[in-house]
Copies of this chain bind each other. A is one copy, B any other.
Amino acid sequence: MFQNPKGMRDFSPDEMILRNSVFRQIESVFVKYGFDPIETPVLEYWETLKGKYGQEADSHLLYHFKDRWGETELALRYDLTVPLARYMSSRRMPLPFKRHHIGRVWRHENPQRGRYREFWQCDADIVGSDKPEADAEIISLMSAVMDSFKFPDTVVKINDRRLLKGIFENGIGIAQNKILTVYREIDKLDKLGLKQVTQNLKQVLPVSQVNQIADILQLHGDLEDVLSGVEASFGELDGTSYLREMFDRLEKGVMARLDLSLVRGLDYYTGPIFEINIREPKLGSLGGGGRYDELIARYGGPDLPAVGSSIGVERLIDAGLAIGIFKLDQKTLTDIFIAAMDGAADYAISIAHKLRKSFNVQTDLMQRNLKKQLDYADKKGIEFVIIVGEKEKKAKTAVLVEKRTGKRHEIKLIGLEAFLKKLVK
């Protein structure tokens, strides 16, 4: 039959009511920190996207196609960062440019729980600053988003691409042609565990190097503790003073941990990288980001440093539902249903018209009898029902029923709106 495409979802009103409230809350935190909205097309030229996300993305995950008019090759956007880089490359504006962008992206993954081919990201990025204040603000912002939902035990894992390079390439001496394989294996640590990862690494590296890596991967925690550990082994490393300054600029209350096992998949990062995690439920990271100082220049734009983050809202919602922060219990935004008996349909419409100044109101649209109208209001979970018939129409009154308590009121039309304002939240 006719279905939604595999891995792409329909959302019903109860789901949308929850999702919209989540999106708007994230947006409001973004705006509190000074990130203004932009929008870009869903489609980009394939030229714009290819070669930016790594080989797997190009060969397996990106949707791209020749348009049937033979004009060009198009692709569905894969994230919101590359479109931002393309956007920046042709514009001049006051810096830093702080934008947020909430929208969908597409990846041809194998659909499974929490993983879809069409999904939403909530991004905030700062373009134009190469200073640790910018990275710190992005991390504080992600933490503030999580706090706004009252997620308990949010931890931000932090690492730095320069530190990784200093340790793995210069320190341990892993060959250039093996380093991406090594990072890819390390990236599986959460999923596979240390034992399996070291086993995998032994396929490509000598045992002595694997043992050094295994030691490093267990280093995480307080910034100075971890840094002094690696500095003892490898001497002074690139990026450490920047990281110290960045940690220093974090807002109070941000739970930030240096974690040398964090690598993140995307190719374009150049400095600090980070991920948001919660302890329970264990769903993997709920968001992440990092610094990408070279991406915008690749689009022919000025050499603009940038740092940003993306919140994976699908997992965030799953996590919130699992721990009871979010609920799927609201089927409609309608406050009031006005049921009309014979001869009072026009009266119901005129009352609805008035009440819509302040409330969300439905009337019968199917010429049904009173019982069926009340059934409908019931099934939709509408909390207030107004009943009118010819008698009420003549007397300019209405009968109001509070569904939760069963209370009934007979009210003059002239006082109805004021009366309802006290009841409807």
Contact = CB atoms under 8 A, between A and B. Distances in A.
A409 interface: no
Given A16-B38, A41-B118, 9 more contacts: A10-B38, A17-B36, A33-B362, A42-B104, A43-B118, A63-B68, A131-B365, A133-B345, A144-B356
A40 B118 CA distance: 10
30 contacts: A2-B47, A4-B86, A5-B41, A10-B39, A11-B38, A13-B37, A16-B36, A16-B38, A16-B39, A17-B36, A32-B356, A32-B359, A32-B360, A33-B360, A33-B362, A36-B331, A42-B76, A42-B118, A43-B106, A67-B108, A94-B380, A95-B366, A95-B376, A96-B365, A133-B364, A137-B363, A144-B356, A248-B346, A249-B345, A249-B349
A360 B64 CA distance: 39
B131 A2 contact: no
Given A33-B356, A36-B332, A367 B131 contact: yes
Nearest to A367: B131
Interface of A: 1-6, 8-13, 16-17, 19-20, 31-34, 36-45, 47-48, 63-69, 71-72, 74, 76, 86-87, 89-91, 94-96, 98-99, 104, 106, 108, 118, 126, 128-129, 131, 133-134, 137, 140, 144, 248-249, 251-252, 299-300, 331-334, 345-346, 349-350, 353, 356, 359-367, 376, 379-380
Q: How many chain copies does the complex carry?
A: 2
A418 B334 CA distance: 35
Q: Which 4 A/B pairs are nearest by Cβ-Cβ distance?
A: A34-B362, A8-B41, A13-B36, A65-B65
A334 B365 contact: no
Nearest to A332: B36
Contact of A67 (B1, B63, B94, B129): B63
Contacts of A365: 96, 126, 129, 131, 133-134, 137
Contact of A12 (B12, B38, B300): B38
A4 B38 contact: no
Contact of A45 (B5, B10, B106): B5
A30 to B, nearest CB: 9
Contacts of A45: 2-3, 5
Contacts of A133: 345, 363-367
A367 B11 CA distance: 45
Contacts of A299: 1-2
Contacts of A334: 31, 34, 36
Nearest to A33: B356
Contacts of A366: 95-96, 128-129, 131, 133-134
Instruction: Name which of A4, A128, A129, A346 has the most chain B CB atoms within 10 A of its CB.
Output: A4
Contacts of A42: 8, 42, 76, 104, 118
Nearest to A48: B2
A89 B12 CA distance: 13
Contacts of A91: 12
Contacts of A106: 43
Given A333-B31, A365-B131, A64 B74 contact: no
A1 B332 contact: no
Instruction: Name which of A3, A34, A72 has the most chain B CB atoms within 10 A of its CB.
Output: A34
A380 B16 CA distance: 34
